[in-house]
Amino acid sequence: MESLVLTIPQVRKIVLEAAGLARKAQFGIGIEAVYRIIDHLGFVQLDTNYVVERAHHHVMAARIPDYQTEWLAELCEDGSIFEYFTSASGFLPMHDFRFTLPIKKAFKAQRKPLTQAETNLMKQILDRAEREESLTVGDFENDRVEASSGWWDWRLRAS
């Protein structure tokens, strides 16, 4: 079998084409382009940390002229895409939903039953969310007994 040797410019061209960055509006324009990008890439990671805007919106804005951030929510609402968490949270095309079912089934089978305290806390949170609608982690009292063990469980309070 003969090996194929590519130059750096050839590799760059292949990667940019595959990432949807080779040409302006490579996937088209409008909300349909958002779906085509997610379908092509297979997964667009959500990122809650941001300075200018959340990272998944950067992915779209870099590829779609006049991108509107609400388009992702609209595609979720109409059932074209869904949000799912594996090692990271992201958007996937709905036709891939079936591939998440074995993972969900395994998690459910391995999960320990909730304690009464966990059930009570969940009910309190859901009841409050239903009454107040828009809540953030900072809206809840910080009753932590021990200090944070890392960046993933910091509790920020709005001043």
Count Cβ atoms within 10 A of the Cβ of residue 28 and give its class: 0-12 exposed, 13-18 middle, 19 or more buried: middle
pLDDT of residue 104: 87
Q: Where are the domains of the chain?
A: 8-103
Give the lowest-confidence range in 5-9, 52-56, 116-120, 128-132.
52-56
Q: How far apart are CA 107 and CA 99, in angstroms?
A: 14
Task: For residue range 88-144, list pLDDT tens digits in order.
Answer: 889 999 999 999 999 889 888 888 888 999 999 899 989 998 998 777 777 877 666
Do 33 and 64 form a contact (C-beta atoms < 8 A)?
yes
